[in-house]
Chains A and B, each alone.
Chain A
Amino acid sequence: MATAQAGPPRPAAARARRGPLAALRARPAAAKLLLLALVAAVAVPLVHGRWGGGIWPAALTADLSGPLGDVTDWIVSNRDSHPLFLYFFGHISNAIVLSVRGVYLVLLALGWAGVTVLAAAVAWRAAGIRLALTAAVSFLVCGLLGMWVPTMQTLALMTVAVLASVVLGLLLGLAAGLSDRVFRVLRPVLDTMQVLPAFAYLLPVVLVFGIGVPGAVLATVVYAAPPMARLTALGLRGADAGVMEAVTSLGATGRQRLLSARLPLARKELLLGLNQTIMMALSMAVIASVIGAGGLGDRVYQALSSVDVGAALAAGIPIVLLAVVLDRTTEAAGRRIGAEPTGPALLRGWRGWTLAAAVTAAAAVAGRVAGGQVWPDDLTVAIAGPVNTAKDWMVDHLYTGVPVVGGTADLASHFTSGVLNPLRGGLTGLPWWSVLLIVAALAWTIGTWRTAATAVLAMAAIGVLGVWEPSMDTLSQVIAAVAVTLVIGFGVAVGAARSERLERLLRPVLDVFQTMPQFVYLIPVVALFGVGRAPAAAAAVVYALPAVIRITTQGLRGVDPAAMECARSLGATPGQQLRQVQIPLARPSLLLAVNQAVVLVLAVVIIGGLVGSGALGYDVVFGLAQGDLATGLVAGAAIVCLGLMLDRVTQPTTRRQRQES
């Protein structure tokens, strides 16, 4: 101390002199926790004395099944007579049915040759010759697998849904992009919609439209429009201020500014929005088979419910191929923007498109003349049988008794009994108020008091809805799967950040995995682990891993090279560089990765209800299957709350700031 007094005052000494309050201000996390502890110390004895511990007290729940049942009954009995349905929803419903039917008929009229050539031609114009080949081969494989008709059904539904989503998203995005007030209102809504699991959207549309194509299309639109709206708004707002000023300085009117500058400047974002909308629409169109969408998703759904892995795979492969073709084509189109037109001048612009249309027409006519409108039955390869044989072999040889590693089924049961069960027991065993406290503490230290408040309210709402137990069950699966995802993801990412070769190897794999719809992941895990909670968790891990690896790798690699160089020049070992430079500097990315992991895992854990993971997802499926919409709706609301809570708990403050700028 003597030296400290003799020399200039050191920061530490200065802080010590400023007293405990100042010390707390220097460490906001500690201050928040202290404040929370104080509140808890006062409130907990009161609350505990009044309602006790354990699961959410029955006295604090509101039984909604009665009123909800009444509402569904009223809707069901009035669906054909009430003017609201006759003149509003009825028209919407009819329009959707007609347009899906129309697109489907056009696809059928084109015949398999016409559709394949059309897909190849569009891919060629938008993305080049390589993707044209990929598209053609993909469609042929769909036919070969005997899935031509379901593929066309899914495609027709998607076309209508994507068109509607794009129009809706563009309109919302334009409004939010041009008006600050609309943007402020719309953005939190869109942000939240993007973190909600797809299942949450199913019940409300079923309530109004019943099971069938209209509901499926509407659910898809609601699910797929937000990214388009969001990216349109961001693109329009992000227009280069210098360019906009230059345009204004030349005397452009408001309309000219929008049409000749602001919209073209946002082309990249618009195409990215289109890409995301298409991918989300495909994902949802498949899931919506649960509410009668038909097509490929329905085949997978039917096959999974009878654990027929072969049939599921035969329908799953076309889904993956569709996803890859659609994603690559729109992505390549986005990349081509601003680049010089290539290829011979004869094929540029409208000439190329005319040629594409002509070739398609020719192929369609040729197919018609040859009498091959529907894919010929003798040209299919039935893979269901062989796959099921292979699966049976796996069941016999891999499920149990594999030396050293044990079997997959053993693994799954160990995971269930060793991780999932204790976790679920622990969560349901915790006093309900302590769950709220933990949520508040986590959300507040990571984010702001706002996110903490939202999270706690969402959690409390789950209790009030009376689904505390199944929610804790779902939560336990989410936590376990997120933990596994993060351990594997961070490990791989650290490796990929260090080794260029590993990253190059990983990139195409991650690309494919990131484009696949959630639903598809259920097929391999059912083959490997059977049904239950462990397979659902495994599917969730596989689904969330690519995003986590990608974000983390980018974060670690994006660390300021000057800082890394500095650490190296001071003689830091690789381990020291990672611990002391890379990880602290990449903290925002790591938090974002955690956030994404939670959101993605939740989405699949919910869908896991289809393969026996129980809990909230099962309640939704059960509600749909039994026509017990009240149960389903309550579970759906709980899913929304759980999604909100999990997102807000892991939402770093920086995410908001980054979007702000």
Chain B
Amino acid sequence: MTATQAPEAAVRSADEAVFSVRNLWKVFGPKADRVPGGEHAALPPAELREATGCTAAVRDVSFDVRKGEVFVVMGLSGSGKSTLVRCLTRLIEPTSGTLAIDGEDVLAMDRSRLRELRRHRAAMVFQHFGLLPHRTVVDNVAYGLEIQGLSKSERRAKAAELVAKVGLAGMEDRRPSQLSGGQQQRVGLARALAVDPSVLLFDEPFSALDPLIRREMQDEVVRLHREEGRTMVFITHDLSEALRLGTRIALMRDGGIVQLGTPEEIVGSPADDYVREFVRDVPREQVLTVATAMRPALAGESERGPAVRPDATVAEAIEAVSRSGDPAARVMDAGRLVGVVDRACLLDVVAGTAEPAVTAPAPDAPDGPREVTA
């Protein structure tokens, strides 16, 4: 749907992982290190607190962040997503597990190595901006470079360039308190970009902003990703934001990952009832592609109807079909017919009655035309 879903990012293999996380735990509370792998490890949160007095903010999480992708971690508040992203640069010290950046063990790093990681390899954008109120915009953006020991003229030049890049040209000498929320977050973004990190970490960066500004900032992130192809880890509690930005989405609940997949997989084949409930109101036709909705072409259908690509969204196919007046659209991949989406297929997606083969049909959808999905 956007350039963030560039196909080449999806086919990269795991050995190109920027972050590689295995069995990561973060437990808060007394004797926290006894919980992972212990007898209480599998208990639900309330019982765990009862038994040990501990809270597992992140429990047994494993995933890879691939180079160039936007990896979205999404979940409701308290699901552990903010703790998880802080564990990546050890702003919060993980309790157990392994964590590597570009193949290098993060948990084994000493102080100076860890500082090096924070200075050059992973920069973070925060929900509440975290700007220094006594510095001007340009000095805030240059702060990361100042920490690294760059000379004043060097860092000023670099900062001015980034201030312009995030669209704040002319506001260099303002103070954060004189900016709107959206502008402040642009400063936060520029500050993170200024150190030219290999990964950008976003912790709910737009949650504190108005809906319109939020949309604008999301477009900004999409644009930056398209232009630079930088790897991003994006934390959000907003499903539509996750679907808009994410190459892949990890859905968290009670500290664990419930499902990890592309937006289409999350919406199209929810792993359990929790995820299904979560994605229930998503306009499916805007997320699902015709590749999942098509059926094999019958005789005589290969000639008629508008052509759509397999990765076009169902919404786009609907538009094509209704414009042309034909009963169906042909799904063409590189000039080859791979299938057909007729009006029934498309309507099934919109109505939510077209369950992919992997999941059982929803009980509350009794009279869907079964022959399409079967």
Interface residues of A (CB under 8 A from B): 240, 242-243, 245-253, 256, 260-261, 264-265, 267, 337-338, 340
Taken residue by residue from 177 to 218, chain B's Cβ proximity to chain A (1 for < 8 Å, 0 otherwise) reads as 110000000001001000100000000000000000000000
Contact of B132 with A243 in the complex, beta carbons under 8 Å? yes
Residues of A within 8 A of B195 (CB): 250
Knowing A249-B118, A250-B119, the reply to whether A264 touches B175 (Cβ < 8 A) is no
Closest to A253 in B: B115
Residues of A within 8 A of B119 (CB): 250-251
Residues of B within 8 A of A260 (CB): 132, 143, 146-147
Q: Which of B123, B131, B177 contacts A249 (CB 8 A)?
A: B123
Residues of B within 8 A of A243 (CB): 130-133
The 9 closest A-B pairs by CB, nearest first: A246-B130, A251-B119, A251-B118, A250-B144, A251-B115, A249-B124, A242-B128, A242-B130, A264-B134
**B89 sits at the interface (CB 8 A):** yes
Q: What range describes how many residues of B lie at the interface? A: 20 to 34
Contact of A249 with B129 in the complex, beta carbons under 8 Å? no
For the complex formed, measure the closest distance between the CB of A321 and the CB atoms of chain B, giving whole angstroms. Answer: 33
Contact of A246 with B124 in the complex, beta carbons under 8 Å? yes
Q: Which of B117, B126, B134, B191 contacts A265 (CB 8 A)?
A: B134
Residues of A within 8 A of B114 (CB): 251
**B91 sits at the interface (CB 8 A):** yes
Residues of A within 8 A of B177 (CB): 338
Closest to B130 in A: A246
Contact of A338 with B175 in the complex, beta carbons under 8 Å? yes
Residues of A within 8 A of B134 (CB): 264-265, 267, 337-338
Contact of A249 with B147 in the complex, beta carbons under 8 Å? no
Residues of A within 8 A of B128 (CB): 242
For the complex formed, measure the closest distance between the CB of A244 and the CB atoms of chain B, giving whole angstroms. Answer: 8
CA distance A243 to B132 in the complex (A): 7
Residues of B within 8 A of A264 (CB): 132, 134
CA distance A256 to B119 in the complex (A): 13
Residues of B within 8 A of A245 (CB): 91, 126, 130
Residues of B within 8 A of A251 (CB): 114-120, 144, 147-148
Knowing A250-B143, A250-B195, A260-B146, the reply to whether A265 touches B91 (Cβ < 8 A) is no
For the complex formed, measure the closest distance between the CB of B238 and the CB atoms of chain A, giving whole angstroms. Answer: 20
Residues of B within 8 A of A267 (CB): 134
Knowing A242-B128, A260-B143, A340-B175, the reply to whether A250 touches B118 (Cβ < 8 A) is yes
Residues of A within 8 A of B127 (CB): 242
Provide 28 A-B residue pairs closer than 8 Å at the C-beta atoms, listed in order of the A residue.
A242-B128, A243-B130, A245-B91, A247-B147, A248-B118, A249-B91, A249-B118, A249-B123, A249-B124, A249-B126, A250-B118, A250-B119, A250-B123, A250-B195, A251-B114, A251-B115, A251-B118, A251-B119, A251-B120, A251-B147, A251-B148, A253-B147, A256-B147, A260-B143, A261-B132, A264-B132, A265-B133, A340-B178
Residues of A within 8 A of B129 (CB): 242, 246
For the complex formed, measure the closest distance between the CB of A235 and the CB atoms of chain B, giving whole angstroms. Answer: 13
Contact of B89 with A249 in the complex, beta carbons under 8 Å? yes
Near A by CB (< 8 A), chain B positions 78-137 give: 89, 91, 114-120, 123-124, 126-134
For the complex formed, measure the closest distance between the CB of B149 and the CB atoms of chain A, giving whole angstroms. Answer: 10
Taken residue by residue from 50 to 69, chain B's Cβ proximity to chain A (1 for < 8 Å, 0 otherwise) reads as 00000000000000000000
Q: Which of B118, B130, B133, B147 contacts A338 (CB 8 A)?
A: B133
* A251, A253, A256: residue with the most chain B Cβ atoms closer than 10 Å: A251
